[in-house]
Amino acid sequence: MSVIVFGSANADLVFPVPQLPAPGVTVLGEGVRSFPGGKGANQAVAAARDGAQTAFAGCVGRDAFAAVATQGLRDAGVDLSRLLVVDQPTGCAAICVDPAGRNQIAVAPGANLAARAAQIEDAALHPGLVLLLQMEVPPEEIAALVARAKARGARVVLNLAPPGELPEVTLRALDLLVLNEHEAAVLAGRLGCAAAAPALRGALGVDVAVTMGEAGTVAATAQGEVAVPAFPVVPVDTTGAGDCWCGVLCAGLDRGLPLRDAMRRASAAASIAVTRPGAASAMPVAAETDALLG
């Protein structure tokens, strides 16, 4: 059993600010810190720290930011044999974080746009695999990889973040679609349905989980709804919360947990992550999540 993540790797530049800047307003912060990030890399780190045998496929550039972008993956022991170095700048994110942990993020994708489905060989796509994808790499490559993975029996989880467009046939091929409330609203607008997990499942015919921050998570499956409450915490930085949730969810599914149990574990891990600065660097190890779950 294993998890492969196909996605982005970024260098995150985090600016703590007294308040998030409004359009046309300059806000002076207290400094800047650099962290490994990118939705794909964050999710791979989360899965690996939770104990899953994890590999990452993506691209970085030949610049100083590449070492920042991949440090979390290396520290977590993620297999990087499918990571390519290309002649484009490493992806970079500028993240403003206010004292309540809320954030604003701008991303320059750079080398992430060079990621190709062919980086994951057919032999790696098998029924014992959980394949996790997001939307910070080319959508046509996501669609191609989903088709290949499903043809070979892999379990495919897509985090539709950011909420880019994919062919409906690709969405219908998924085993699980994960969205936050904003992403659910965007997709619902395209499909002409309500932005709730049951309505989205009805429109697509696949299991759907909608994460709602402090309100918890609701999933709609063929067996009915699954609701998991959030763990109450005082957040410091919510940047990697959704990525932590997705990575730990897939680690749980990989080890055979039922969806409800995997969701609860993911929620516990995410609640730990938001109490720390950074994204990949904030992901908890399995023992921390075990302790919170009791």
CATH of the domain at 57: 3.40.1190.20
Q: Is 283 annotated in some ligand binding site?
A: no
pLDDT at 236 (0 to 100): 87
pLDDT at 165 (0 to 100): 95
Domain that holds residue 136: 2-9+37-90+111-293
Q: Is 239 annotated in some ligand binding site?
A: yes
Strands 103-108 and 91-97, sheet pairing: antiparallel
pLDDT at 155 (0 to 100): 99
Asked whether residue 166 is assigned to any structural domain, the reply reads: yes
Q: Is 42 annotated in some ligand binding site?
A: yes
Question: H or E stretch including 144?
Answer: helix 139-151
pLDDT at 195 (0 to 100): 97
Q: Is 215 annotated in some ligand binding site?
A: yes
Distance CA 9, CA 12 (A): 9
Overall domain count for the chain: 1
Which entry of 87, 243, 254, 261 is annotated as an active-site residue?
A: 243
Asked whether residue 106 is assigned to any structural domain, the reply reads: no
Distance CA 56, CA 43 (A): 9
Asked whether residue 186 is assigned to any structural domain, the reply reads: yes
pLDDT at 166 (0 to 100): 98
pLDDT at 238 (0 to 100): 87
pLDDT at 119 (0 to 100): 98
Q: For the chain, which ranges sit under pLDDT 50?
A: none
Asked whether residue 14 is assigned to any structural domain, the reply reads: no
Q: Is 240 annotated in some ligand binding site?
A: no
Q: Is 41 annotated in some ligand binding site?
A: yes
pLDDT at 239 (0 to 100): 82
Residue whose C-alpha is closest to residue 29's, from 44, 13, 16: 16
Asked whether residue 25 is assigned to any structural domain, the reply reads: no
Three-state DSSP string of 226-293: EEECCCCCCCCCCCCHHHHHHHHHHHHHHCCCCHHHHHHHHHHHHHHHCCCCCCHHHCCCHHHHHHHH
- Respond yes or no: is residue 243 known to be catalytic: yes
Asked whether residue 263 is assigned to any structural domain, the reply reads: yes
The token duo for 95 is 């993240």
Asked whether residue 102 is assigned to any structural domain, the reply reads: no
Asked whether residue 80 is assigned to any structural domain, the reply reads: yes
